[in-house]
Structure 1
Amino acid sequence: MFDRISRLAAEVPPIAGFAGADALRTAIEEIARDHPEHTELRRIGSSRLGEPLWCLTVHGGPEHVVVVAAVHPNEPVGGLTSVHLAKLLTEDDALRADLGCTWHIVPCVDPDGTRLNEPWFAPPLTFDSYGRAFYRPAPDEQVEWTFPFAYKGNFFDKVMPETVALMRLLDETKPMLLCALHNGEYGGVFYYLSDTTDELNRQLAALPESLGLPLHTGEGEAGFIEQIAPGVFRGFTAEEECDFMLELGLDPSRRTGGASSGAYAARYGTAYLATEVPYWADARADDHTPLDISYAALLAERGKRTEETAKLLSGVLESVRPDLTVRSPFLRATEAFVPYLADAAESELARARLPENDRPAVVAEQFASTSGLQSARIRFGGMLLRALAAEIGIGNGTPAIRGGFARLDEIYRGWLAEAEMPQPIPLAKLVGVQLGAILSTTVALSG
């Protein structure tokens, strides 16, 4: 079966660009219209701005699989994957029968946030076009991380309408598997799994390799995340994040989000898969050549530079705050992520003092350190520029706001000049990896 899945992953046709919220809705409406005998298109909820949220169900067996895209709206590869998966399941009767599952596919669970990213969806994809039109919601406005949560005095119940819609879908279907479609920026492919086997780990590692893409085998996105195989990480929980912060002497109450979709679905025995694919590949993500620098020194340097970035963005924000009039999504996100950067810096500096990190670093860890800082600057600097541009756009171009924008824009241009600009990965390959991961995990769980 895996040979068949690999072939399907390699046969994804060329894709010109990302699809916006309207294009995704049109695509699944066409699939439902063309295949009424085994599909059902239904509204499962509404966005915060009142836009309908749609789910395409493809009937095929007693087990249920839920596939959700745009859980982070700055990650549009999943929308393309969800549409391709829906077409494949409706057009390939043999595959649908062999999988023996009923599929519930949500191609865009956050259309409001997706629309705010659509300016950079058209090619060519560069750091400049991407960063200046980037939007990632504040943690308490992300579908993926706004499920109810209570742990050690930390409490979250500001559940968004989009999250409620996904909760209802999970409650109704009690799926065997929940697939959240994510993507990063540059480096290699990696996965989060709640349940896995050695054979599935090998298959997931083989998928990107078969398409000429590297695995991300360096450190996880946080120090507490367990790597269980090359490129495969254990799905983590909000509870684990809080415990990690406490161990490092950080205040977990500064964590503003809730629990994850995977944690919510776990009550039904649901397995969880998140497939993370980059826009730009870099072989250093899978290079374990030792370096003449300790891992502790690498952490300390990253902590120092991240702290400097947080202070710089905070300084610009505070210099204009008295003149701000618009509580835009960009401002709300900036206000959330600048403290997050400060906490990340403190975490790295604390980890640098741990004895176990006094060992030689490897290239993959150095790449993760450099690319992580670069990502933070491009993302969060770009969103603060958008927040200030929004004020200027409505006529509130006070001297402080215009000055803050000009100062940050100059710094931002310097960050872009420092950044390495690799070639974008063909979107068909990214869709192929996500498609292959979904099918491989489904087969492993149902077999």
Structure 2
Amino acid sequence: MFERILRLVDEVPEIDRFLGVDDLLAGINAVAERHGDCASVRRIGTSRLGEALWSLTIEGGPKQAVVFAAVHPNEPVGGQTSLHLARTLAADASLRADLGHTWHIIPCIDPDGTRLNEGWFEPPLTMRRYGRNFYRPAGREQVEWSFPLAYKGVFFDAVIPETVALMRLFDETEPDFMCSLHNAEYGGVYYYVDSTTPELSRALSAIPEHLGLPLQTGENEEPYMREFSPGVYLGLSARQHIDYLESIGVDHSDFDAGESSMSYVRRYGTRYLISEVPYWTNEDSRDMTPLEVSYAVVLRERAKELTEADRVLSGLMSSVRNDLSVSSPYRRALDAFLPGLAKQSRIASAAADGSAAERLAVVAERFHSEELLQSVRMRLGGMLLSTVEGELAIGNGTPAIRAAHAELTGVFEHWADLAEAAVPATAIPIRKLVATQFGAILASVSTPR
């Protein structure tokens, strides 16, 4: 079966741009129209702004599989992966029969947020264009992190409509398999799973290798991740994050989000795959060569730079806060994320004070710190620019807003220059990212666990 999967991976066509919401929906409707014998589209919910949420069902067997994309709307690779998966399954009855699943495929679970990112979907993909047109919701408005949670004094039940739609689908289908499609900015390919076997781990590693992509082997996304094999980790939960903050003495009472899809489907014994693929690659991201400085030094420098970014961005936000007239998605995101800069700085400082940080750092850890800083400045700086430009667009050009816009424009351009110089990177062909996720889905479903 794995050789067949690699052949299918090689058949993924070239892709020159990311698809927006309308193109993704047109794509799944075309699949249903062409393959009406096995495929149909149905509405599963409504977005916060009133847009219908659609799922494509492809009949293929008694087991149920749910695949969904755009849980974070700044991560569009999964939309095209889900569309390619749908086209392949609908056209290949023997593959459907071999896999033995009925598929429920949602190419865009957050259309409202995805539309706010479409300004950078056309090539070329650069950090400057990405940041300038970037949007990521506040944690409590993210589909992936707004499932119900009650743990150690943290209580979350403000479940957004998009998440409600997924919960209903999970409850209806009690899926055997679930896949949430994600992508990162820099580094290599990695996965979260509920469990694995040597055969599955080898398959998940071999697919990106076959496509010439690296696995993520540098610093982990979170310090508490449990590794099964290189690039393959146990799925994350809000409970793990709260436990970690408690363990390093950082207050968790302000945690303002919910649980993950991974945690929700455990009640059904669902196997899951979360695939993370990067837009850009850089050799330093996986270079384990020791540096001449300790990891504690790298962490303290990270804390210092995050504090400075917080000073600049929070200061500009404070200068206009009383003049802002619109509670836009950008403003809500900034209200959630800007206080997090100081918290990230405290986390880095606390980790630097631990005995585990006394060892020598490696190149990949220094790269991760630099990349994190550039990402934070591009993301939050871009959303703050969108916030003040929105006020200017509706005629609210107060002196404070005009002054902040002028200053931030210069700051953002300077940061963009630094990002593109400090973290040089090569954009990965979209075809390879889609092929990696597509192959990982097929491998996960077809490999016994």
Shorter-chain TM range is: over 0.9
Equivalent-residue separation in structure 2 for 1:199 and 1:293 (angstroms): 38
Deviation at 1:307, TM superposition (A): 1.6
Equivalent residue for 2:296?
296
Could you say which residue in structure 2 is the equivalent of 1:273?
273
Secondary structure of the residue that 1:36 maps to in structure 2?
coil
Q: Secondary structure at the match of 1:225?
A: coil
Q: Name the structure 2 match of 1:184.
A: 184
| Counterpart in the other structure of 1:431 | 434
CA contact (8 A) 2:300 2:349 kept: yes
1:125 to 2:125 alignment = yes
Amino acid of the structure 2 residue aligned with 1:87:
R
Residue deviations 1:31-77, cap 9 Å, x none? 00111111121100010111110111111111111100000011000
Q: Does 1:174 align with 2:177?
A: no
Q: Which moved more, 1:201-210 or 1:137-146?
A: 201-210
SS at match of 1:254: coil
Q: Secondary structure at the match of 1:284?
A: helix
Paired residue secondary structure (2:116) = helix
Q: Deviations over 1:199-225 (max 9, x none)?
A: 212221121111111111122212222
**Contact 2:74 / 2:117 at 8 angstroms: preserved in 1?**
yes
Q: How does 1:134-283 map to 2 (within 5 A)?
A: 134-283=134-283
Q: State the distance in 1 between where 2:268 and 2:332 align.
A: 34
2:412 aligned with 1:440: no
Distance 2:140 2:21 in 1: 22
Cα offset for 1:24? 0.6
Report the number of matched residues: 446
The residue number in structure 1 matching 2:22 is: 22
CA–CA distance in structure 2, aligned partners of residues 183 and 418 of structure 1: 23
CA-CA distance at 1:311 after TM superposition: 2.0
Offset at 1:247?
Answer: 1.6
- Counterpart amino acid of residue 137 in structure 1: P
| Superposition map of 1:355-374 within 5 A | 355-374=355-374
2:41/2:54 contact within 8 Å kept: yes
Distance 2:34 2:288 in 1: 49
Cα distance in 2 for residues equivalent to 1:393 and 1:423: 35
Give the SS at the match of 1:45: strand
Deviation at 1:177, TM superposition (A): 1.4
- Cα displacement string for residues 402-438 of structure 1 (whole angstroms, at most 9, x for unaligned residues): 1111112211111111123423211100000000111
> Which structure 2 segments of 5+ residues have no match?
none
Q: Is the contact between residue 56 and residue 104 of structure 1 (CA under 8 Å) also seen in structure 2?
A: yes
Contact 1:187 1:278 in 2 (8 A): yes
SS at match of 1:319: helix
Tell me how far 1:188 sits from its aligned partner: 1.1
Matched, 1:399 2:399: yes
Is the contact between residue 282 and residue 426 of structure 2 (CA under 8 Å) also seen in structure 1? no
Q: Percent identity?
A: 55
Stretch moving more, 428-437 or 367-376:
367-376
Residues 376-387 of structure 1 mapped to structure 2, 5 A cutoff:
376-387=376-387
SS in 1 for 2:14: coil
Partners of 1:282 and 1:139 in 2: CA distance: 28
DSSP-derived class of the 2:407 partner: helix
Q: Secondary structure at the match of 2:266?
A: helix
Question: Aligned equivalents of 1:30 and 1:273: distance in 2?
Answer: 27
Separation (CA, whole Å) in 2 of partners of 1:73 and 1:41: 22
Indicate conservation of the 8 Å contact 1:60/1:97, yes or no: yes
Question: 2:94 matched to which residue of 1?
Answer: 94
Give the distance between the partners of 1:39 and 1:61, measured in 2 at CA: 13
Q: Residue by residue, what CA displacement relative to the aligned partner does 1:326-378 show, whole Å, maximum 9, x if unpaired?
A: 11101110111111121111101000000012111112222211111111111
Q: Secondary structure at the match of 1:266?
A: helix
SS at match of 1:192: strand
Gaps of 5+ in 1: none
Q: Report deviation, 1:173.
A: 0.8
- Equivalent position SS for 2:253: helix
In structure 2, give the amino acid aligned to 1:413: E
Q: Is residue 72–residue 136 contact of structure 2 (8 Å, CA) maintained in 1?
A: yes
Letter in 2 for 1:357: A
Q: From the superposition, tell whether residues 393 and 170 of structure 1 become closer, same or farther in structure 2 (CA, over 3 Å).
A: same
Residues in 1 aligned to 2:82 and 2:359: alpha-carbon distance in whole angstroms: 42
Asked if the contact 1:214/1:282 (under 8 Å) is kept, the reply is: no
Return the TM-score normalized by structure 1.
0.98
Does structure 1 residue 76 correspond to structure 2 residue 79?
A: no
Pairwise CA distance, 1:18: 0.8
Report the alpha carbon displacement of residue 228 of structure 1 after superposing the two structures with TM: 2.4
Structure 1 window deviating more from structure 2 (56-65 vs 218-227): it is 218-227
CA change 1:219–1:423 in 2 (3 A) is: closer
Q: Give distance in 2, aligned partners of 1:362 and 1:300.
A: 15
Output the CA distance in 1 between the equivalents of 2:157 and 2:253: 14
Q: Indicate the residue corresponding to 2:49 in structure 1.
A: 49
Residues 220 and 226, structure 1, Cα contact 8 Å, conserved in 2: no
CA distance in 1 between counterparts of 2:233 and 2:309 reads: 28
* TM-score calculated relative to the size of structure 2: 0.97
Structure 1 contact 215–285 (Cα < 8 Å) conserved: no
1:165-187 deviation line (CA, Å, top 9, x unaligned): 00000001111111000001121
Determine helix, strand or coil for the equivalent of 1:155: strand
SS at match of 1:56: strand
The code of the aligned residue for 1:412 comes to F
CA-CA distance at 1:138 after TM superposition: 0.4
The residue type paired with residue 265 of structure 2 is A
Give the secondary structure class of the aligned counterpart of 1:66.
strand
Report the AA paired with residue 392 of structure 2: I
1:284 CA displacement: 2.0
How well do the aligned residues superpose, as a CA RMSD in angstroms?
Answer: 1.1
Paired residue for 1:328? Answer: 328
Q: Distance in 1 between matches of 2:391 and 2:249?
A: 38
Per mean C-alpha deviation after superposition, the further-off stretch among 427-436 and 279-288 is 279-288
